[in-house]
Amino acid sequence: MREHARPDGPGVRVERSGGVVRQVGTAHDWNGVVWSAPDLDAARADAAIAAQVAHCTALGHDEFEWKLYAHDRPADLSERLLAAGFEAEQPETLMVARVADLSTTVELPEGIRLRTVSDPDDVELMARAHEQAFGSDWSRLRHQVLARLSEDPDGFVGVLAMAGDEPVSSARMELYPGTGFAGLWGGGTVRSWRGRGIYRALVAFRARIAAEHGYDYLQVDASDQSSPILQRLGFQALSSTTPYVYRPSH
């Protein structure tokens, strides 16, 4: 999934250079390293980091991410990234489940219905739910989701949880043809609706779609809030992953 990564949306490309695999796009896309060679030693690691810093600076984007996993080498790669000016963000747990082992029964609290995202108006509802749930700006994700919806709808599933006309949660699923894997993203619920099973229902809803499309596994980079729920649903923790972000202007 990482070494043979594919572009995660229209207009982006995957490059292999100096022992790393990175994705490159516009400033609105996700730009960063997704994989580094397992045989990187100290000297090659420092050279790879320096090359990515130069690459990011040349792009002129506001930020560039190195997605580091706990099993990546060398063992002190995180310290080397920090020394080069990258900043660590919140770690997440890499979790995987076999689709056949998951419940696809969607149980919703009264007053909530789920629907798939089909047009730009739905994307705006996703943005509203995300910003209220996470308290973060959704402008970059809005661009990415709109692009996927218009240019690669078969590789993307967006889901909304609605209370009447109000979005209270949103989630996404990325389909990776030929890998057997689909990735779950999002799933944030506004505070007043938390603890009622909406996140669990969103997982079941997407698991059903993944099964219908013939996918064997679901993968999640889970936050501390999500990982206990996912574990109860049958997901296994494989590793942890931490975003290291380089911002040239800092």
Residues 6+ apart with CB under 8 A from 97: 217, 218, 230, 233, 234, 235, 236
C-beta of residue 244 within 8 angstroms of C-beta of residue 91: no
C-beta of residue 31 within 8 angstroms of C-beta of residue 17: no
C-beta of residue 149 within 8 angstroms of C-beta of residue 117: yes
Identify the pLDDT of residue 250: 62
- Structure tokens of 180? 């057997």
- Structure tokens of 243? 């975003």
C-beta of residue 35 within 8 angstroms of C-beta of residue 205: no
Per-residue pLDDT of the chain (250 residues; tens, 9 = 90+): 999 998 888 889 999 998 999 999 998 899 999 999 999 999 999 999 999 999 989 999 999 999 999 999 999 999 999 999 999 999 999 999 999 999 999 999 999 999 999 999 999 999 999 999 998 888 888 888 998 898 888 899 999 999 999 999 999 999 999 999 999 999 899 999 999 999 999 999 999 999 999 999 999 999 999 999 999 999 999 999 999 999 997 6
Identify the pLDDT of residue 143: 87
Dmax over CA atoms of the chain, in Å, equals 58
**Alpha-carbon distance 24 to 198, whole Å?**
34
Measured over the CA atoms of residue 229, residue 232, residue 234 and residue 240, the dihedral's sign is positive
